Each structure stands twice: as structure tokens, then as C-alpha cells.
A = this chain, B = another copy of it.
């Protein structure tokens, strides 16, 4: 029923792994850049969430992209992005063709 890839991790552990402050992960969440699963109010990050966040860090730190640009690419259903981006994140922007008054 469940396997290794269903494992999930609390925010502090994920932040430490990524080398960022946990506040940064809360910050990303305000933009729907990551949608961790909740048990109660506590957040749990899946392996997919974590590897997506690693990629986001690479885009931002190594390539110099900003957060808004990543969101633009998700909305655009950019091919490179889609292969890495969790479905929940993509879905969080699914209505953008209809309502233009979203996160921006």
C-alpha cells in the first residue's frame, strides 16, 4: 500500500536539508510555490516536494531567477518546469486563465 516514496518530512528537517530557513518555506507557501500535505496544522513535505524545492533553489541561486518568474513558468505550463513541479503546485494555479486577479 505505502512505500518509501510516500515518506514525508517536517519543515525543520526539510529546511535544514535544503540549507534554508524554515521561514523561507513558509514564504514560498504564501505564493503556492510549494503545497505541503497537512496533518492537523502541521506540514509534511513529500520526497517530490523536496526535490522540487531543490530545483527551485537551483533556479533562484544558480541561475538568478526570481520567484515570480517560476510562477509565470508554472502558469505557462513550461515543459522544463512541468517535469519537476508537483501536481498540487500546478493545480494551485489551474484557474489562472479565468481569474486574472490571482497572486499578483
* A contact set with B: CB distance below 8 Å: 59, 63-66, 68-69, 71-72, 76, 78, 80, 104
A87 to B66, CA, bound (A): 25
Q: Is the CB of B69 within 8 A of A76?
A: no
A66 to B59, CA, bound (A): 12
Interface-centre pick from A63, A64, A69 (highest chain B CB count, 10 A): A69
Q: Is the CB of B66 within 8 A of A66?
A: yes
Q: Is the CB of B65 within 8 A of A72?
A: yes
4 closest A-B pairs by CB: A64-B68, A69-B69, A66-B66, A65-B69
A64 to B64, CA, bound (A): 14
Q: Smallest distance from the beta carbon of A95 to chain B beta carbons, Å? A: 17
